[in-house]
Structure 1
């Protein structure tokens, strides 16, 4: 049984805290049903200030680099430290806009290697997430799926034994994780509301002027990718689930050889076909999610 914990560290958003608690109780069993993954024994959600988000996110980034550094040869240390300084400088410049305005949710490593989701109420308001319970349900389902992924892959540690960069979500891993969570949140909201709900379709009228301006800010655009990682990932995962089912796809969380290649991310049908070829006989019938 999973213990769902929501803590309002701001001491100012008790109603939002209760709303997150109610949605978690609704969507947790649906996330498990959809993904066929288990949730950890404790799920932590925190409502925090933009300043706390910045401090905790910076600590998370530093911790990930440290995990990466200890897995690499010592002679690579200076180059890794240089990359860390550049990344940290770029993050610090953008952090006030990210944490206070743009970031809808972020799931990181918490106490005792548990996953913890950080939510900034101000950012949820700016982004329009709070304009509809359906958008908040999508966000919570998405982040809950990251909790399940992290439990299955030990926060990517099972991959990192052979590919140290996995702890940084490098290469195609980010597309895989975000695409899988996006696919799951679409399925969960379909089960809840009769149709999928997608925060990328939030009307501009529901977002603040600060949000619109922040998305165009050079500090943010310089950090962005020319690709849409979320839609790219959804296009990767959806045909794979259709081909082999969620349970068989879940082998990827413990088997580095099944992680999609760059070519397979560009051409999702190739990954679906490879998973299909490697699927144990009799598993394909489990692909329906309800």
Structure 2
């Protein structure tokens, strides 16, 4: 049974924690059914001040780098360059926090948690219903993704070395959550709820959003929309089981071409699925983890390794 934990580090907006808890109990079974992903043992949401949010944003970046350092110990010069870049961009959370309705991160104890600055909800115009349901459902999906992805690194400052496709990460993680929150709110309210078109933003939010320097600090909205269409198409073609193969195998993240061409990605997912099924039945050879070919066709089996 999943435990829902709401931690409040601010006494303002005292009723918000209770409302989020009630929403979680409502949307959790729908999110689980919609995505076919399992709820983690604990779902944690934390309400913080803007200053605390900014600190957590920076600490999350440091934790991601620490993981890279632990895994890539032979790259001291590259790691030092990333550390320097993080110092230069330390102002980022100051600029973006009014635009960030919530973020789901891995906390210091290894537990996934969603961090919310209530003031950001007000700037974003989503502090009331039904838009708050959408935000909570969206972030809950990210926690289910993290549970399904356990042990697989997607967040990294060395994407090329880890063979991670950054645009694929954004398209799948955000597109999947957006697709799911639309399914959930449609079931609850009769039609999808979308804060991107329905929320009344504050003046500060609108000013930040219109500033090119700040807008460039976030992935382009088009990538989210393409990702949602990619997920919807894949579910239509092969169901959620086909989509959910990506969480445990980062090589299945879509390329830029596949993000723009959903059929290409579903073809690759389906083809890999058929090969695995054949191998499990004992009638096929081993396939390469990266290029998906049989042993004889792999261009570099020593580097790639076999499934």
Measured against the shorter chain, the TM-score band is 0.7 to 0.9
Give a deviation string over 1:227-266, Cα, whole Å, max 9, x none.
6231121122111111111123212111233222222112
Say if 1:225 and 1:247 are closer, same or farther in 2 by CA, change over 3 A: closer
3-state SS of the aligned residue for 1:116?
strand
Q: Distance in 2 between matches of 1:147 and 1:234?
A: 17
> 1:275 aligns to what?
269
TM-score (norm 1): 0.86
Asked if 1:46 corresponds to 2:46, the answer is yes
* Bigger Rg over Cα: 2
Say which of 131, 142, 147 aligns to 2:143. 147
User: Do the aligned residues in 2 keep the contact of 1:145 with 1:181 (CA within 8 Å)?
Assistant: yes
Q: 1:155 to 1:212 in 2, by over 3 A?
A: farther
> Could you tell me which residue of structure 1 aligns to residue 78 of structure 2?
79
Aligned to 1:194: 190
Corresponding residue for residue 238 of structure 2: 244
Q: Work out the CA distance in 2 between the residues paired with 1:53 and 1:152.
A: 25
Whether contact under 8 Å (1:172, 1:262) holds in the other structure is yes
Q: Of 79, 91, 94, which aligns to 1:93? A: 91
- Equivalent positions of 1:1-290 (< 5 A) are 1-72=1-72, 74=74, 76-90=75-89, 92-99=90-97, 101-130=98-127, 132-154=128-150, 156-157=152-153, 170-203=166-199, 206-226=200-220, 228-279=222-273
What TM-score do you get using the length of structure 2 for normalisation?
A: 0.82
- RCO greater where, 1 or 2, for CA within 8 Å and sep 6 or more? 1
Q: How many pairs does the alignment contain? A: 275
**How large is the RMSD of aligned CA atoms in angstroms?**
2.6
Q: What CA distance in whole angstroms lies between the structure 2 residues aligned with 1:68 and 1:127?
A: 33
CA positional deviation for 1:5? 0.8
Q: Secondary structure at the match of 1:113?
A: coil
Seen in structure 2, the aligned counterparts of structure 1 residues 120 and 51 have a Cα distance that, compared at 3 Å, is: same
How far is 1:59 from its partner?
0.5
CA distance in 2 between partners of 1:126 and 1:175 (Å): 25
Gaps of 5+ in 1: 284-290
CA shift for structure 1 position 135:
1.1
* Contact 2:167/2:223 (8 A) holds in 1: no
Structure 2 alignment gaps of length 5 or more: 278-307
Q: After the TM superposition, which of the residue ranges 114-123 and 146-155 deviates more from structure 2?
A: 146-155
Cα deviation 1:57-89 (Å, max 9, x = unaligned): 101001101212332252x32223213322442
Report the equivalent of 1:286: none
